[in-house]
Each structure stands twice: as structure tokens, then as C-alpha cells.
Chains A and B, each alone.
Chain A
Amino acid sequence: MDPLLDVEDLWVRFSTRQGVFDAVRGVSFTLGRERLGIVGESGSGKSMTGRAILRLIRPPGIVEADHIKLDGVDLLQKSEKSMRDVRGERISMVMQDPKFSLNPVMTIGDQIIESYRLHNKATKSEAWVKALEMLEAVSIRNPERVMRAYPHEMSGGMGQRIMIAMMLIPNPEILIADEPTSALDVSVQRQVLDIMDKLVQERGMGLIFISHDLNLVADFCDRVLIMYAGRIVEVCDANKLHEAQHPYTRGLLNSLPRLDTPRDRLDVLKRDPAWSEAPSVSGRL
């Protein structure tokens, strides 16, 4: 089966006064109807990879790649105008903090209805019913009250669920989630992940899940790319993440404190310059 998304030799560059800085350096991977995790530390280029797929990197940043193919069509060849149809319609993105993604002066209902009518021909009342259904689908109790509320009245977990609901309205083929739960409390985290998982499974979507949390990704995803200094250093199945081979992945795993195995000192990651020199591992299937 053809992959949904095919990324070949992706580079993201920023030119600064000190010279050109490569945030992403030659990354290749494919995404099928699966949950693909991208993990790494801050500055490893994982968020840049997600944004580059949607061509959301602003100048002075430059995106270069052999191709970024969505269903066989290269996104890099598209005009900015047709790219706008891809964003949201076919590939959606959920950001870290819902507070910055929702319009603070519109009620949540109005925002959902607006985005629904943008993508579907529907009257206001049809859209209202649809919006209620969407909120119920992300397990929001009392959806009518939420429809009339403003974003600041929502807790972080509610806001993130609403964002997911909005992102899924146009029925995209791919959802890119950039640290969707790291601003949330642990108990809410699970709920949000479960909802996202359910919706993605039901609709047969591809999910790119960007996170710094190895345990979360190991739990939640099917396949994991581990990024370091703009390159993929290792690719493995998520359930085998704890048996990962690369010293960087091992180092990250060992630096986590664990409740079940108390230690006096945590292992400190010793960075090997060779890691960033080694060629990027391909994440193709």
C-alpha cells in the first residue's frame, strides 16, 4: 500500500549572523495509516519537521527536500494558495498550548461552527448540531454550555480537546500533534490521548505525534523516530523502544528517574559528537 505521506531528504535552514544554522538535516520517512512518534530533546528539530511538512516555516527559514509527497503529490511544488487548502483540509495540526490556538473573543461554539461551515456547505443550525456532536465525540460533558463559553473559561484539558475536535472537523487524512499534552496534568493527559487515539483509529488517519516524553510515545505510538541534532538517529517499533540500541536513546531512557527502581544517582547522558555526524537513519517503511 502506498504511504499517505512520503518525505525524502528534508532540510530546514535558518541563516543567522553567525552563518547558516541547519535545524533539520536530511530527514526521510514515510507515514502510513499509523501512529508515528517523533521524539527528541528541545532543539533536535522535531517540531521543525512537523511544521516543514505543512510549509509553516517562515522566512528567514528555508525548507528544502527532494519531495514531501501527500498521496503522491509533491507539496513543495504547490502554490501558497493551494497549500492553504491542504492545511486544515487534508493535514491538521494540534499545537502545544490551546490558549494560543483559539480566538479569545469568540465563543467556542462560534469558532467550531465557523470552521465547520468553511469546509462544508451547511446552514447555521445544521452546523450547530454538528458542533455539538463533535464536542460529544471528544467526551465533553454538557456540550451546550461549552458552546456558549469563551476559551478563557476552559481548563487546559478541555481546551485541548476542543482543539482536537476542531482539527478533526474537515476529516483530514493526517493529524500532526506537536506536544499536544505536555501542558496538561498527567490524569488529563491520558483522557486527551485516548480521545485522539479513538478518533484517529475510527477514521483511519495517519498521526504524527511529536513529543519529548519517551514513555508517552512508547505507550501511545506504533513506530518511533528518535531525532538528535536535526537527524534521525534511530527508528524502532514503539513497543520495543525500551530495548532501543542507539546510545542516545539509551541515555535518554536511563536519565529518567523511575519509581520502581530507585537509584542514588541518575545516569547523565554523555553526548558523542559522532552522533550528529552520522548520516540520518531512514524512517521509510
Chain B
Amino acid sequence: MAEQTLRAWLLTDTPTSRRHAKLSALYQGWLAFRANTMAMIGLGILLSLVLIAAAAPLLAPHDPFVQNLGNRLAPLGSEGHILGTDSLGRDILSRLIYGARITLYIVALVAMIAPIVGLLVGTVSGYIGGWVDIVLMRITDIFLAFPRLVLALAFVAALGAGIENAVIAISLTAWPPYARIARAETLTIRSSDYISAIKLQGAGGLRIITKHIWPLCVSSLIVRVTLDMAGIILAAAGLGFLGLGAQPPSPEWGAMISEGRRFILDHWWVATMPGLAIFTVSLAFNLLGDGLRDVLDPKAGE
């Protein structure tokens, strides 16, 4: 009974307070999201990834860094090592579990930097227009003109190898598409009546951009970020694979594939297991992104 009334309270068309209205809007979004099975699968995978990363010391059967040269390249299902061991005899499962932390770390950092830079550049450029727009958009074009991995390689080469620098390099190459999206949205929002209306209240450019344009751009950016996450994980793995990202012995998934490459013909699982992990997480992000698009798209929400 209590549950029934809570549900009714959340689904009401006549919210009675600011908090009520917010919660109700969130709940309706959640209901729409929940109806999308694939998106729920994606969310489930990502939540378990977070849990695995958080509980890594409890879950991992072995220390990911302890080498055992006597038991190197053990096959799948061998005793004590379900996913086998790598060329130095380290347990692959444990390394994957610890590697989830690195993956999440990269994802979180890139997701914090790239879209925010893109949002700033895009909305300012779109709203102010004129010279500012021309200058900012040409800079964006320059970044877009380089192949992403090549540019990231150049940055890492300049800044030095390492996971933080890899993140910065990826972020620097990832923001221009967000700036383009944010600018395009700003251009349509800028000329709408509700922006004219708030101008007539004497609101300045800063307030209009942050309070009126951002909330409308953010949803499409979130969708784009989740869809891009797969690419970002792959780029990080690529840098790791090339030896420019995470450094050994860190159990970064891309670096693990790179190590396993030497044995790919005789000991395929060493490279395949981290590859499957990357694949699963990328897929999960894509599914989540598709679901979020259905929920967050303001046109569909009308």
C-alpha cells in the first residue's frame, strides 16, 4: 500500500514542491529508461564493473603483480587460474579485475574533461557568434583535421608516457566533436522565443549560457559521451598497446593485449581475455548511450 502511494506521488501531474517536481521528473525518466531492456543490460554491466573495481582486493584470487615463472602461460581452467596466466605467470583474472580500476579511472577523467571543454567552447562560440565564433571554430577544425590516435601519440610523446598523460592526450583529441554539437544546438536555441523572453528580463550572456543553454545541450552531450566511451576505452587501450599509456607492470587492459601479442598463436587466451573485457565494457557503454538518448532527448520527452 505504501509503495502504491509513493508511486502515485511520484507519477503525479500536480507536484506540490520543488523537490517533488524534481523527483517526479527523475522517476518518469527512470521508468522510460527501465522499459529499454538493452540499456538496462548496459547499465547492469557498468554497475558490476564499478562494483568489481571497488571490491578488487576481495574478488581477485591472486595478487596481480606477483610473478611465478614456474607457472607461466598456464591455459584456461588450470588449477587456481581460471583464465590462465600470462608470460610472467601472473593470474590473468586478477589482473583483469584490477585493470577495471584503471579503465574506470581513464573513463571518468576523460568524461570530466572533454565534454566540459567542448560544452564551454561550443556554447560560447554559438551564442556570441562573430569573430569569437570564427576563431574558436577554426581551432576546433585544426584539432579535428588530425587523426585522433596520431594526435594523441604526439601529445604523449611530448608529455612522456604514462596513464595521466594518456588521459590528457585523449581528452585533448576528444573535445572538438562535443564543441561542434554544443555549437549547433546553441544556434537553434539562441533564436528561440524563450531565450528572447529571458533577454527581455535583462539577463546577461553568462546567465543565458549557463542557466538556459547548458541544460538543453547537456543531455545530447551525455548521450554522445556514453556512445564515445567505447572509442575512448579503445584509444586508451591502443596507447597502452603501443606502450605509450599505462606502463608495465600496471594491469591496464590494452597493455595486457600488447604483452599477449607475442604469444597470440600458441597461447591465444593471454591477449583474448583482456580483449573480451574491453569489448564487453564498450558494448555496455553503447547500449547505455542508446537508452539514454531515448530518455534525455527533449523532443521525445514532450
Contact = CB atoms under 8 A, between A and B. Distances in A.
Q: Touch between A and B in complex, CB under 8 Å? A: yes
Interface string A99-119: 000000000000000000000
Nearest to B32: A17
Contacts of A17: 31-32, 35
A17 B36 CA distance: 13
Interface in A12-32: 17
Contacts of B31: 17
B34 to A, nearest CB: 11
A72 to B, nearest CB: 42
Interface in B1-55: 31-32, 35
B301 to A, nearest CB: 13
Nearest to B31: A17
A60 to B, nearest CB: 13
A17 B7 CA distance: 14
B14 to A, nearest CB: 14
A17 B35 CA distance: 10
Contacts of B35: 17
Nearest to A18: B11
Interface in A254-274: none
A89 B32 CA distance: 41
B292 to A, nearest CB: 18
Contacts of B32: 17
Interface in A153-173: none
Nearest to A17: B31
Interface in B222-252: none
A29 to B, nearest CB: 32
A56 to B, nearest CB: 21
Interface string B272-302: 0000000000000000000000000000000
A263 B32 CA distance: 49
B286 to A, nearest CB: 25
B78 to A, nearest CB: 51
A219 B35 CA distance: 49
A17 B28 CA distance: 10
A17 B32 CA distance: 9
Interface in A128-181: none
Nearest to B13: A18
Nearest to B35: A17
A17 B31 CA distance: 9
A201 B35 CA distance: 52
B121 to A, nearest CB: 32
A225 to B, nearest CB: 29
A161 B32 CA distance: 43
Interface string A204-245: 000000000000000000000000000000000000000000
Interface of B: 31-32, 35
Cβ-closest 3 pairs across A and B: A17-B31, A17-B32, A17-B35
3 contacts: A17-B31, A17-B32, A17-B35
